[in-house]
Amino acid sequence: MQLSGQSIIGTRRATASGGVFYAVNPRTGERLEPAFHSAGDRDLDEAVALAAAAAGAYRALPRSQRVEFLREIAAQLESLGRALIERVTLETALSEARARGELERTANQLRFLAGIVEEGSWVDARIDTGDAKRKPAKPDVRSMLRPLGPVAIFCAGNFPLAFSVAGGDTASALAAGNPVVVNAHYSHPGTAEMCGVAIAAAARRAMIPDGVFSLLISRGPHIGQVLVAHPLIKAAAFTGSRTGGLALAETARSRPEPIPFFGEMSGSNPVFVLPHAWAQRGDAIVAGLAASVTGSVGQFCTKPGLVLVEEGRAGDALVVALGREIGGTRPAPMLNAGILENYRLLVEARTRDARVRRVAQAAGGAGAGPALFETDADTLLGNPDLAAEVFGPATLVVRYRTLDQALEIAAMEGNLTGTVHAGSGDEEEAARLAAALEGRVGRILFDGYPTGIEVCQAMVHGGPYPATTDGRSTSVGGRAVERFARPVCFQDVPASLLPEELRPGNPSGVWRRVNGEMTMFE
Amino acid sequence: MQLSGQSIIGTRRATASGGVFYAVNPRTGERLEPAFHSAGDRDLDEAVALAAAAAGAYRALPRSQRVEFLREIAAQLESLGRALIERVTLETALSEARARGELERTANQLRFLAGIVEEGSWVDARIDTGDAKRKPAKPDVRSMLRPLGPVAIFCAGNFPLAFSVAGGDTASALAAGNPVVVNAHYSHPGTAEMCGVAIAAAARRAMIPDGVFSLLISRGPHIGQVLVAHPLIKAAAFTGSRTGGLALAETARSRPEPIPFFGEMSGSNPVFVLPHAWAQRGDAIVAGLAASVTGSVGQFCTKPGLVLVEEGRAGDALVVALGREIGGTRPAPMLNAGILENYRLLVEARTRDARVRRVAQAAGGAGAGPALFETDADTLLGNPDLAAEVFGPATLVVRYRTLDQALEIAAMEGNLTGTVHAGSGDEEEAARLAAALEGRVGRILFDGYPTGIEVCQAMVHGGPYPATTDGRSTSVGGRAVERFARPVCFQDVPASLLPEELRPGNPSGVWRRVNGEMTMFE
């Protein structure tokens, strides 16, 4: 595919307008062709106006057409094949295997969401039939989840496919029946354009109204801020840093009409290794933890940033073994120069920090050297800033004296995940930790590692603030569709004006709650 | 029941601390015994600390116990009978019939929510079973809605029972498994105390942990503000004025840990009367509209504040008839002197306002005189401040020349409801109006009136900002429970640590989505 370096406004290309920038190969520091022209305010206005104009028509399409659209996007992405994988690896320094896996996940995610739309019950249709004889007459009341309107999607830097232009947020918003205006990540504009072209092609094939998809490519925070502030945008979703997320959240809520804003900002993802687990399968835990900390150069929002281990000899051995493993992992380039610089600065600061001890750091070669630090629970509880995320392949082992300290750490701050490794004999401690974690995380794991998220109906990738700005939602899994919808109620509305899922006789064949009972047959 | 004038902190009474105030009979201006002692910051701290301490135990109770609690509250309220009705009418000037109806609704609402908890499927349990043979191994992933933690509930002035101490928000938060700290409305403190005593008695009977319910009685905004700012409060719900709601929303979001805030602030609830509907059943529409505007002295959040009617003779006749009906309705006392004063000032301002014409105003007698005003669509669209709510028995007829004007008005601002009266021959206009309203309201009604909300699974009493601060939620109906919960995911968590609804074999007998399929049998 010949890259144009231009944004996509519905079915058109933007004409060269804003400043020029290039993608950079993080392995070499060399710039990559072609030049990208930053979208300007006019491009943005056009994209949003088109999206708003298309919202009614898109919402009203038979859902089979939305299903086709999502599946066609998956097919178009796959047909890009090697060219896409190459561009991803050039722009992000991620490995080819990772890029291939992510493309597969992205396509599967689109098909997973297509399946949810096809099955149709996610709309939570409810019907309470009327009764004219009751005094006063009982109205006919029906409700279901309906789309919000144009959604602004912010691409994540660390998932150039699965949480970028054609990623989970775009797919969920489209699945729910909303037009999207996507704000590309400046760090992989070529990948973004390729995916944008694939979506535009899919839209044409599935005969989706012009403006349901637009892609704004730019550098710097301006376009994103203006997009969230735009009065015709009705919701926004973001995955990235806490600073970026909170700035956009502030814009979303200080608009004349505040809108739902879903910011996914990660955190420390504590992993508790209980004594019997360590004794019974210590080697596997060390290997698993090291892989989870260093996989994809630690650039996952669920990377374990805190590892909680009891004081004493057994724990000492874990620290030594984990240090050996992490310190022995080769340094590797990160997503871009800014992220690498930031990682180096944070690791240097920790190295100089008297409150923590550096256990190990990989040396040699360019890029980010995986690092392991250690401190004790008293220090962490007295210095909660030590729990702050270090984006990259570093983690902090925290040694606790008592379970109460571990419980206090579990309750410190909202997180995406909390993990417990429990062996035979750890049952009581594990139960108490799980109960403490439940109030503070979106996902509790046992005997596993938080990275590597299963895309399935039950997955929750969200959590209480500051893990996200809206802890009642998830960006992965079946429930991701729901956050781009709201319940709308139809009281005594003629059948011809009802959405298909609420019509008499259930022509959609979805599960509905009719007069309180779940049924597919009425 | 002997009123003590004191707040309820778990199983204890607060000791007289803050300033003293009295309820006032709005019919006579006389103060009502006894003196109420405003809760102080220490009372609040104690209530919230108790609630937080009880959260884990309450969440872990078998759900049958929560069901019993809710049903017992209903029974305790009913057993107050005449004494409660008397106090309500004394404190609010609402009619005895209205008070009786509201008590019945309040008890039914508690039983309705008890039924939802008993049936249990509202938790949206999802299970994706693992597969150790897959590469990489597929984890066992389960998730469901879980309680948020202590919820602050703000009582509404206009529903002394159904949206007050034992009202919908309290019932929903308790149903979802959260402790509540209720902030009483200063205008009906005696009613509040009686309902609080009923809930406390029900808690004892159902052996609910101390602190799951507390009631803070005070005058002025201080306690409410401190309550929403309290770090152990995890969500808040409010029904009332836009000013009050937005002030609390600001507090909720500027905390170090922002929390979900559900502010229900009403609006103009437009009613569109299309030409054929008027021709075919004009008399019924006039009678219904007048009743909806003046019922309970216009003190409903769904009162129609805008009535849209075409220009021309037919519409003129509607205005005359509606004016006759509204102008002929007796003035009546409002909930308190402040609300009445505010209504009078707004009606006087409208009367002097050159942009509108006063069609009719009821005179004679004390209290609020129902009033009808008229303007044209050009004026309204140029002066959107005219759509601002007048809390009380007044409404504004807006005459439009073209359907486009009506559509533009339908899209003006978020509202709880939008109503269309359509006759045979109005089909096309009705369809276009319904589509325009869908993006801006929580509930679309045909051929009815927005007041008088049916409490049922499908009801939605919410809507886009500024109708509420969170348009993805509802304060009435089956979905009201969900807003006090969030999805929590359990990955490879041992069965003994799973909430009942997620356990193997489905011991709870709830509907679950197992590997994508809805079922009760696995």
> What 3-state class would DSSP assign to A422?
coil
Q: What is the DSSP letter of B496?
A: G
Please give the average per-residue pLDDT across B440-465, as a whole number. Answer: 97
- CB pair distance less than 8 Å for A464 and B414: no
C-alpha gyration radius of chain A: 24
A179: exposed, middle or buried (C-beta count within 10 Å: 0-12, 13-18, 19+)? buried
Q: Collect all residues of chain A within an 8 Å Cβ-Cβ radius of residue B439.
A: 55-56, 149
- CB pair distance less than 8 Å for B139 and A454: yes
Please tell me if residue A486 touches chain B, with a CB cutoff of 8 Å: yes
Query: Catalytic site residues of B?
Result: 264, 301
**Amino acid in the structure at residue B190:** G
Token pair for A213: 């998809």
Please tell me if residue A120 touches chain B, with a CB cutoff of 8 Å: no
How many CB atoms are located within 10 Å of the residue B352 CB?
A: 9
**What domains appear along chain B, each with residue ranges and CATH number?**
8-132+148-265+471-483 (3.40.605.10), 271-446 (3.40.309.10)
φ, ψ dihedrals at B212, nearest 5°: -70, -25
Can you state the angle between helices B168-175 and B96-119, rounded to 10 degrees?
10
In B52-156, where do the E strands start and end?
125-128, 141-147, 151-154
Query: What is the distance between the alpha carbons of residues A303 and A371, in angstroms, rounded to a whole number?
Result: 13
- CB pair distance less than 8 Å for B442 and A146: no
Contact in structure between A429 and A408 (CB atoms under 8 Å) = no
Alpha carbons within 13 A on the beta-carbon side of B111: 11
Tell me the DSSP string of B254-319.
HSSS---EEEE------EEE-HHHHHHHHHHHHHHHHHHHHGGGG--TT---EEEEESSHHHHHHH
Q: 3-state DSSP helix/strand/coil percent for chain B, to nearest 5?
A: 40, 20, 40
Active site residue A119: no
- CB pair distance less than 8 Å for A438 and B258: no
pLDDT tens-digit series, residues A322-354: 999 999 999 999 999 999 999 999 999 999 999
Place of tokens 């320094």: A93
Query: What 3 state SS string does A336-350 have?
Result: CHHHHHHHHHHHHHH
Query: What is the distance between the alpha carbons of residues A52 and B503, in angstroms, rounded to a whole number?
Result: 44
Query: What is the distance between the alpha carbons of residues A392 and B321, in angstroms, rounded to a whole number?
Result: 72
- Given A72, A264, A429, A482, the catalytic residue: A264
Contact in structure between A381 and A405 (CB atoms under 8 Å) = yes
Question: What is the residue-averaged pLDDT of chain B?
Answer: 97
Tell me the DSSP string of B395-415.
EEEEEESSHHHHHHHHTSS-E
Minimal CA–CA distance to B269: which of B296, B297, B289, B239? B289
Among B457, B474, B503, the strongest candidate for a mutation testing the A interface, having the largest count of A CBs within 10 A, is B457
Q: What integer pLDDT is reported at residue A301 of this predicted model? A: 95
Token pair for A9: 């406004």
pLDDT tens-digit series, residues A70-99: 999 999 999 999 999 999 999 999 999 999
Query: What is the distance between the alpha carbons of residues B95 and A376, in angstroms, rounded to a whole number?
Result: 65
For A330, B89, B155, the CA distances from B75, given in Å and listed in that order, are: 68, 21, 21
Beta bridge partners of B419: B271, B445
Residue B385's contacts (CB-CB under 8 Å, 6 or more residues apart) are none
φ, ψ dihedrals at A194, nearest 5°: -60, -45
Q: Work out whether strand A141-147 and strand A485-491 pair parallel, antiparallel, or are unpaired.
A: antiparallel
- CB pair distance less than 8 Å for A443 and B474: no
Q: Between the CA atoms of A426, A429, A432 and A434, what dihedral angle is there, to the nearest 10 degrees?
A: -50
Confidence of residue A513 (pLDDT cuts 50, 70, 90): very high
Please give the average per-residue pLDDT across A461-487, as a whole number. Answer: 96
Confidence of residue A366 (pLDDT cuts 50, 70, 90): confident
Query: What is the distance between the alpha carbons of residues A453 and A111, in angstroms, rounded to a whole number?
Result: 16
Give pTM, 2 decimals: 0.97
Please give the average per-residue pLDDT across B59-83, as a whole number. Answer: 97
Residue B397's contacts (CB-CB under 8 Å, 6 or more residues apart) are B307, B308, B309, B318, B319, B322, B359, B372, B373, B374, B375
Confidence of residue B189 (pLDDT cuts 50, 70, 90): very high
Contact in structure between A237 and A475 (CB atoms under 8 Å) = yes
Question: What is the residue-averaged pLDDT of chain A?
Answer: 97
Query: What is the distance between the alpha carbons of residues A148 and A232, in angstroms, rounded to a whole number?
Result: 11
Token pair for B363: 């005179």
Query: What is the distance between the alpha carbons of residues B148 and B259, in angstroms, rounded to a whole number?
Result: 10
Confidence of residue B15 (pLDDT cuts 50, 70, 90): confident
Element (H, E) at B419: strand B415-421
Among A489, A501, A511, the strongest candidate for a mutation testing the B interface, having the largest count of B CBs within 10 A, is A489
pLDDT tens-digit series, residues A308-321: 999 999 999 999 99
Contact in structure between A164 and A155 (CB atoms under 8 Å) = yes
Residue B352's contacts (CB-CB under 8 Å, 6 or more residues apart) are none
Element (H, E) at B490: strand B485-491
Minimal CA–CA distance to A216: which of A91, A11, A76, A47? A47
State yes or no: pLDDT of A522 exceeds 80: no
Please, which residues 59-98 of chain A have a Cβ atom closer than 8 Å to chain B? 60
pLDDT tens-digit series, residues B369-410: 999 999 999 999 999 999 999 999 999 999 999 999 999 999
Q: What integer pLDDT is reported at residue A521 of this predicted model? A: 85
Q: Show the DSSP H helices in A306-374 as ranges.
A: 313-327, 337-352
Place of tokens 């060399």: A30
Alpha carbons within 13 A on the beta-carbon side of B221: 12
Q: What is the DSSP letter of B500?
A: G
Please, which residues 237-266 of chain B have a Cβ atom closer than 8 Å to chain A? 253, 257-260
Closest partner CB to A139 (pick from B146, B448, B492): B448
> What 3-state class would DSSP assign to A201?
helix
> What 3-state class would DSSP assign to A331?
coil
Percent of chain B at pLDDT > 70 equals 100
Q: What integer pLDDT is reported at residue B266 of this predicted model? A: 79
Please give the average per-residue pLDDT across B498-504, as a whole number. Answer: 97
Query: What is the distance between the alpha carbons of residues B474 and A145, in angstroms, rounded to a whole number?
Result: 12
CA atoms A9, A14, A18, A20: torsion sign: positive
ipTM surpasses 0.95: yes
Minimal CA–CA distance to B398: which of B300, B304, B328, B325? B304
Token pair for B32: 């009502």
pLDDT tens-digit series, residues A214-267: 999 999 899 999 999 999 999 999 999 999 999 999 999 999 999 999 999 979
Please tell me if residue B459 touches chain A, with a CB cutoff of 8 Å: yes
Confidence of residue A365 (pLDDT cuts 50, 70, 90): confident
B229: exposed, middle or buried (C-beta count within 10 Å: 0-12, 13-18, 19+)? middle
Largest CA distance in chain B: 83
Q: What integer pLDDT is reported at residue A15 of this predicted model? A: 85
Minimal CA–CA distance to A24: which of A484, A340, A392? A340
State yes or no: pLDDT of A364 exceeds 90: no
Query: What is the distance between the alpha carbons of residues B404 and A50, in angstroms, rounded to a whole number?
Result: 20
Residue B396 distance to chain A (closest CA, Å) = 23
Percent of chain B at pLDDT > 90 equals 97
- CB pair distance less than 8 Å for A491 and B448: yes
Q: Between the CA atoms of B432, B434, B435 and B441, what dihedral angle is there, to the nearest 10 degrees?
A: 140
Chain B residue with CA closest to A491: the answer is B445
Q: What integer pLDDT is reported at residue A264 of this predicted model? A: 95
- Given A301, A310, A374, A413, the catalytic residue: A301
Strands of the A415-421 sheet, one edge to the other = A357-361, A371-376, A394-400, A306-310, A271-273, A415-421, A441-446, B485-491, B141-147, B125-128, B512-514, B517-519
Query: What is the distance between the alpha carbons of residues B143 and B145, in angstroms, rounded to a whole number?
Result: 7
